[in-house]
Amino acid sequence: MRRFQDLADVLVKRLKVTNAVFDGEILVMGASSPDFGALMQARGEPEFAAFDLLWLNGRDLREQPFSKRKTLLRKLLVGQTAVAYVEAHRSANLFEAVARLGLEGIVAKRAADPYAASTKWVKVKNRGCTQKEGRGELFERKK
């Protein structure tokens, strides 16, 4: 998408890799959490946050366990500021923090699982998500 070309150019320039494929999310940070409306309306500076590393320097990592991919991702991103590293958590308090911030929810992955179509992940939704309000019109196409 042309809108994120500047972000893509920064990532290519700053990351010291031949090639890489990440699982992550483009976001615009608000005062204390991601601001989905700002992202959709092109307000603010987009950033990239990486959850997982699927490919690195010609090597397919998808069959590796999530825990190993996460370790490789952390090592790749240490000391640089182009990509935000999203930490894996095991704390039951994580969902409480997500709810308190009004975020959408959590995606849960098992540490031993590969990144494959057969892998089952669980999305734990926050029914009180504040960012869901007003989202409908952001996705409606003009006819």
Q: What is the pLDDT of residues 78-92, one digit of tens each?
A: 988 889 998 888 887
What's the rounded mean pLDDT across residues 13-34? 90
Residue in 113, 120, 65, 109 with CA at minimum distance from that of residue 86: 109
Instruction: Categorize the per-residue pLDDT at 67 as very low, low, confident or very high, splitting at 50, 70 and 90.
Output: very high
- On the question of pLDDT at 132 being above 60, the answer is no
Predicted TM-score (pTM) of this structure: 0.80
Strands (E), the chain: 20-27, 47-56, 59-60, 83-85, 105-108, 122-125
Rounded percentage of the chain residues whose pLDDT exceeds 90: 42
Residue in 83, 108, 110 with CA at minimum distance from that of residue 21: 83
Phi/psi of residue 98, nearest 5 degrees: -60, -45
We find that the CATH architecture of domain 2-139 is: 2-Layer Sandwich (3.30)
- Lowest average pLDDT, out of 24-33, 107-116, 121-130, 132-141, goes to 132-141
Phi/psi of residue 77, nearest 5 degrees: -95, -5
Domain spans of the chain, in order of start? 2-139
Q: Give the distance between the most distant pair of CA atoms in the chain.
A: 47
